[in-house]
Structure 1
Amino acid sequence: MSSVQSSRFSLPGMYATGQAVMPGVVICITIALATSFISDHYGGPKMLYALLFGMTLHFLTEEGRCLAGVEFSSRTILRLGVALLGVRITLDQVAELGIGPIITVVLGVILTITMGAVLARMLGLSREMGLLTGGSVAICGASAALALSAVMPRSDVQERNTILTVVGVTTLSTIAMIVYPLITAALNLSDTNAGILIGGTIHDVAQVVGAGYIISNDAGDVSTMVKLLRVAMLVPAVMVFIFLFRKSRKESDSEKVPALPSFLVAFVVLVLINSMGWIPPVATEVFTNMSAWCLITAIAALGIKTSFKKLAIVGWKPVILMVAETIFLLLLVMACIHFGLAGL
């Protein structure tokens, strides 16, 4: 270990780092608290609120005292939040679903990400934008956008793409929470198939839970399990993204890129520990809430780092891309249900 690294992890070094990041972190946490209060009392998506609130404070990125904390929140706190998602998943939950929903979810993730890359090229957008939006739509919305972005090459364009993706998938997920239960009723789906459709298509976990239990308790249970299976697909997706962007990350990042990110290792370890029943329900709830708070704080930081002016120059193409990916995933899962694949 170099002298710089050892000084960073010494008590004086950690204290100095804490002092440096504290102002920015406090700002991001304050935004998270404010947006959570508004969402809990008046409704609406917390992450979208946090993003928009953060963007109104973009001027703080020009002020030195907050910049280090905003960067810390958008990277370290983000990765902690993604890692803690592992406490929501067990291997038994995956096995209980049966092979049909697993095949449906795997097909949905692979084909939607591929479709995203193809559509992005057709629209004249970058491959990175197509892969990021496709992964977010296919896996778990804003959380996936943050996790996948964390292993992609860092740049101003990439951060802007992440913000656009978070805004898009959060908005589409909120719309889907209202519309998709109506679709399941129109198709006269059973509770099980309705749960598979809801859990296999809606982007964010909170909206999946809301839409599933609107239909029935059974549909809500199935949709939650299917959704958590999609969350588990973060692991192979992140691994593939690391492979795809290994060269460009080495060129753009001064730090050495690990073969396997620590937050992904922590995610897998927590899934395994939770599968063994070693995490009590109280601790699971605590870690789940902590994960949510970390992700909202990270979203606030990303908002602070982004300006409305930069987003305005992007145009309508990313919106079309995300809408097309969402419709594609919906039609794919509906086809799997119709032809009996999801019921295997």
Structure 2
Amino acid sequence: MATTEDGTGSVPATGSAAGTGRPRQLLPGLALVVVGVTVAFLVNLAVPALSALTIAVVLGVVVGNLRFVPDSTGAGVRWATRRLLRGGVVLLGLQLAVPHILQLGAGTILAVVLTVAISFLGTLGLGRLLRVPHGLSVLVATGFSICGASAIAAMEGVVKRKESDVATAVALVTLYGSLAIIAVPLFGPMLGFTGAGLGEWAGMSVHEVAQVVAAASPAGAAAVATATVVKLSRVVLLAPMVAAVSVAERRGTPADSGTRPPLVPLFVLGFLAMVALRTVDVLPLAVLNIAGTLTTLLLAGALFGLGCAVRLRSLIHTGPRALLLGLFSTLLVAGVALMTLRLLT
């Protein structure tokens, strides 16, 4: 499957296919995404321990690196990936109710804020030391410090990067988040974290929401509940983080260049609107359950598409520094979370 890259992060094939009203160009790729999501959910039903989102990424990587996949699927996959990711980020806001986060207490909330801020800035510093491109460093820093692929999707629209940087960042989130599922319940008790305490550490240090749940599960239902709320408190910081990076990018881009990013992308505002809607508690439980399933569907389709953009040969050739950045960032997030929890809770 062919991919298109440019230095500004635009995807000309996506816009042109949609803008000229030629849906037939999109159908092969859309059909491929539907098949990928269906397979991911079927595998998840058969093996519930495997997240549908993780399965979707792996399937995408496999499909994207098979020689027999026709180039005609490229436009549809790219078109679906961007829209599904942004739709999924918007609906993710319905999982966040501000009162639930406030119940964590001032110490835990402050620990979350410090962990996100230090991890983000620290990862950017590590990226410079390792000579990782700025765009990729920002995406890795966002995904690892906040909420994985969803955060990467929100940030990719405001930072200058290559299209391959998005796929690489998602691949790193999948790799190291999956390793964390094993590491957190293994090392947590050694570090004094058990029960809800292990849930707090998992929620503050593991990348994806589904990975957080899997990492906290061995410690019991209370740990999973705590881990989920702590993790979602990190997600709340997504909008201000995107806005801050956008302001920095705009300052570095001439006003007459025509390529300045928006202050806050429209779908991030949609995310905040959904948070507000959930906070006022006007939606019935049935609607929230449907929205949760739809969120997973949208993100699974987007992650399948991002997986299709990963080229293993290219990743192996250019990836050692990116792999090191992912490793060091994972250790940084886990270490800062450990220290802030010990000091503030």
TM-score by length of 2: 0.85
Q: Distance in 2 between matches of 1:18 and 1:150?
A: 24
Contact persistence 1:177–1:211 (CA under 8 A): yes
Q: Does 1:85 align with 2:92?
A: yes
Q: Distance in 2 between matches of 1:193 and 1:332?
A: 15
Contact persistence 2:126–2:325 (CA under 8 A): yes
Q: Does 1:49 align with 2:58?
A: yes
Match for 1:55: what amino acid? G
Alignment partner for residue 311 of structure 1, among 292, 311, 315?
A: 315
Deviation larger for 145-154 or 224-233: 145-154
Aligned residues: 324
**For 1:142-157, what aligned pairs fall within 5 Å after superposition?**
142-153=149-160
CA shift for structure 1 position 58: 7.3
Alpha carbons of structure 1 residues 58 and 95: separation in structure 2 relative to 1, 3 Å: farther
Q: Give the secondary-structure state (helix, strand or coil) at the position aligned to 1:260.
A: coil
Q: Give the secondary-structure state (helix, strand or coil) at the position aligned to 2:223.
A: helix
CA shift for structure 1 position 315: 3.0
Deviation larger for 53-62 or 114-123: 53-62
Q: Distance in 1 between matches of 2:199 and 2:280?
A: 26
Deviation larger for 239-248 or 329-338: 239-248
Alpha carbons of structure 1 residues 210 and 318: separation in structure 2 relative to 1, 3 Å: same
Alpha carbons of structure 1 residues 248 and 288: separation in structure 2 relative to 1, 3 Å: farther
**Counterpart of 2:42?**
37
Q: Distance in 1 between matches of 2:266 and 2:139?
A: 20
Q: Distance in 2 between matches of 1:80 and 1:256?
A: 23
**Counterpart of 1:8?**
none
- 1:260-281 CA-partner distances (Å, limit 9, x unpaired): 2121111001110111111221
Kindly indicate which of the two structures has a greater share of residues assigned to helix. 1
Alignment partner for residue 23 of structure 1, among 11, 28, 51?
A: 28
**Counterpart of 1:292?**
296
Q: Does 1:112 align with 2:119?
A: yes
Q: Give the secondary-structure state (helix, strand or coil) at the position aligned to 2:127.
A: helix
Q: Does 1:242 align with 2:249?
A: no
Q: Distance in 1 between matches of 2:258 and 2:34?
A: 29
- 1:128-177 CA-partner distances (Å, limit 9, x unpaired): 222211111111122222222233235xxx22222222112212112211
Alpha carbons of structure 1 residues 243 and 254: separation in structure 2 relative to 1, 3 Å: same
**For 1:59-70, what aligned pairs fall within 5 Å after superposition?**
62-63=71-72, 66-70=73-77
**For 1:1-344, what aligned pairs fall within 5 Å after superposition?**
16=21, 18-42=23-47, 43-44=49-50, 45-56=54-65, 62-63=71-72, 66-153=73-160, 158-246=162-250, 257-339=261-343, 341=344, 343=345
Q: Give the secondary-structure state (helix, strand or coil) at the position aligned to 1:245.
A: helix
**Counterpart of 1:6?**
none
CA shift for structure 1 position 103: 1.0
Alpha carbons of structure 1 residues 253 and 308: separation in structure 2 relative to 1, 3 Å: farther
Q: Give the secondary-structure state (helix, strand or coil) at the position aligned to 2:319.
A: coil
Q: Distance in 2 between matches of 1:152 and 1:236?
A: 15
Match for 1:150: what amino acid? G
In structure 2, stretches of 5+ residues that fail to align are: 1-17
Q: Distance in 1 between matches of 2:205 and 2:43?
A: 27
Q: Distance in 2 between matches of 1:215 and 1:52?
A: 32
TM-score by length of 1: 0.85
Q: Could you tell me the percent identity over the aligned residues?
A: 25
Alpha carbons of structure 1 residues 282 and 248: separation in structure 2 relative to 1, 3 Å: farther
